[in-house]
Chains A and B, each alone.
Chain A
């Protein structure tokens, strides 16, 4: 029997839903080859992308070469790869050597090809993972829908007539639809947590400054984070651990020592004090939001409710900082190439450029005030639960939804619950509650630098069956 025959045929058929850790174990132990795994992923991308529109570029040749190199590595080297042969893809704002970093825009297509990969791609590939392509996103990441006027909308694997959420829409569709077990996205105001919620997968937004953002196209420097998506918590931790570490070329990256989360998962949630966010986070909440919070809260035996002070003002301040920092980033493009923007993005950015600076400084002062008040809550609690999105996936093209009895625009309001958290850089794991007919996410929020706490709780919930990435019929 050859090594490849030893890989169970049933598993091959199910490989679309195989975990990254199972693939890595099979490749590093010689039960299958990286080339087989990568070819299978590439075939799924070809088959599913016309429906899901998750990928904007497929790096097939590069991926096959990388897989061949892994297969040719000596056995002891292969065994050292924690992500041996694991296919992954990145939001198309990550630099990929040889490709223009388009960041969901038309304008950036004329940029020179990137000379080198983003450090996070380099770190995943150093652990044996294989990049298979770049993913669709909302233009310049100013988006919560996953729609893109240039590349078409990312489509939700649970119902392709519905949004993935954004702006990391392709990340949600690719992982939720079984094209790859792992993807990397960015989160400025919720762009990892919103697609995780709508596509029914797990997402990790680490602490601000934990993972380097070097060689990625920015949006709002003081709010931008990068992080992974996966279909289980172990894979999130595995990839997160592989990406940690200092970096010289990101001023916000603090360069902390490695703090591996994977070894912590087995500790479960015993001894951790968890509360659920009330007030702003429950007022007018939909039935789905309350059901998801109850599922997670009951599984953990949560009894306490805690109020994040002035959360509505935190959201407002994040909105102002985003509009103005984003406008500053794009000001020259707004002067000279305004007609090449997505009109919805352009008009928000132009408005942002006109906001008086005094109001922006006030928002940044409020940010510190709010950070200190929320930090005080973590003296009493290790983690706080909050909804990830106000609803399950809306229809593609849907302009408004009902929120607390008021008709509100979808695009800026899907981040209602995520913005007050990323505003102060707290680490969050978004966990999927597999409600029918559509999943919805819950945020597990921890104190700064305690990604391990959020991941432990997420893992415990997964073990209890309270959260899971549902398999869509794609």
Chain B
């Protein structure tokens, strides 16, 4: 996600989630989101079969 669109995403997500984001927190939130999305991409680029089950499985 490009830096500018990430700014837009953060602003929209904050509004959607009801989070009052102080502009001073913006750079740190963005920095953390970039790191977390990088980790998520590292996981997502690994191919898994459609049948792969998530680790936590609900059992009745």
Interface residues of A (CB under 8 A from B): 222, 310, 312-313, 315-317, 319-320, 323, 331, 334-335, 338, 343-344, 346-348, 350-355, 359-369, 371, 412, 424
Question: What's the minimum C-beta distance from B9 to chain A, rounded to whole angstroms?
Answer: 7
Contact A320 B43 (CB under 8 A): yes
Contacting residues of chain B (13-60) with chain A, CB-CB under 8 angstroms: 13-14, 17-22, 25, 28-33, 35-40, 42-44, 46, 48, 52-56
Contacts of A360 in B (CB 8 A): 40
Complex Cα gap A348–B48 (Å): 28
Contact status A364-B40, CB under 8 Å: no
What are some 27 contacts across the A-B interface (CB < 8 A)?
A222-B55, A222-B56, A316-B42, A317-B39, A320-B43, A334-B19, A347-B25, A347-B28, A347-B32, A350-B19, A350-B21, A350-B32, A351-B30, A351-B35, A353-B17, A354-B9, A355-B33, A355-B37, A362-B40, A362-B48, A363-B40, A364-B55, A364-B56, A365-B53, A368-B54, A369-B48, A369-B52
Count chain B CB atoms within 10 A of each CB in A312, A313, A344 and give the residue with the most. Answer: A313
3 closest pairs, A vs B, by CB?
A351-B32, A364-B54, A367-B55
On chain A, the residues within 8 Å of B25 by CB distance are 343, 346-347, 350
Smallest CB gap from B48: residue in A: A365
Interface SS of A by simple majority: helix
A207–B36 Cα distance when bound, in Å, is 26
Contact B46 A338 (CB under 8 A): no
* A407 shortest CB reach to chain B, Å: 15
* Least Cβ–Cβ distance between B17 and chain A, in angstroms: 6
Chain B interface extent, by class: 20 to 34
Complexed CA–CA distance, A331 and B42 (Å): 26
Asked whether A359 lies within 8 Å of B40 as measured between CB atoms, the reply is yes
Contacts beyond the supplied A344-B28, A354-B9, A359-B37: 8 A-B pairs with Cβ under 8 Å: A335-B17, A335-B19, A338-B20, A350-B25, A351-B30, A352-B36, A365-B55, A369-B52
B43 x A359 contact (CB < 8 A): yes
Distance of A52 from chain B, by nearest CB (Å): 30
Which residues on A sit within 8 Å (CB–CB) of B20? Answer: 335, 338
Cα–Cα, bound, A312→B40 (Å): 12
**When A316-B40, A347-B25 are in contact, do A366 and B46 touch as well, CB less than 8 Å?**
yes
On chain A, the residues within 8 Å of B17 by CB distance are 331, 335, 353-354
A334 to B42, CA, bound (A): 27
Residue contact B19 to A312, C-beta cutoff 8 Å? no
> What CA separation (Å) do A320 and B20 show in the bound complex?
23
Residues of A near B46 (CB, < 8 A) are: 310, 313, 366
Query: Complex formed: what's the CA distance from A365 to B22 in Å?
Result: 35
**A361 lies within 8 A of B28 (CB):** no
**Interchain CA distance A364-B22 in the complex, whole Å:** 32
Q: Select from chain B the residue with minimum beta-carbon distance to A347.
A: B28
Residue numbers in A under 8 Å from B13 (CB-CB):
353-354
A316 to B25, CA, bound (A): 24
- Shortest B32–chain A CB gap in Å is 4
Q: Are A363 and B29 in contact (CB under 8 A)?
A: no
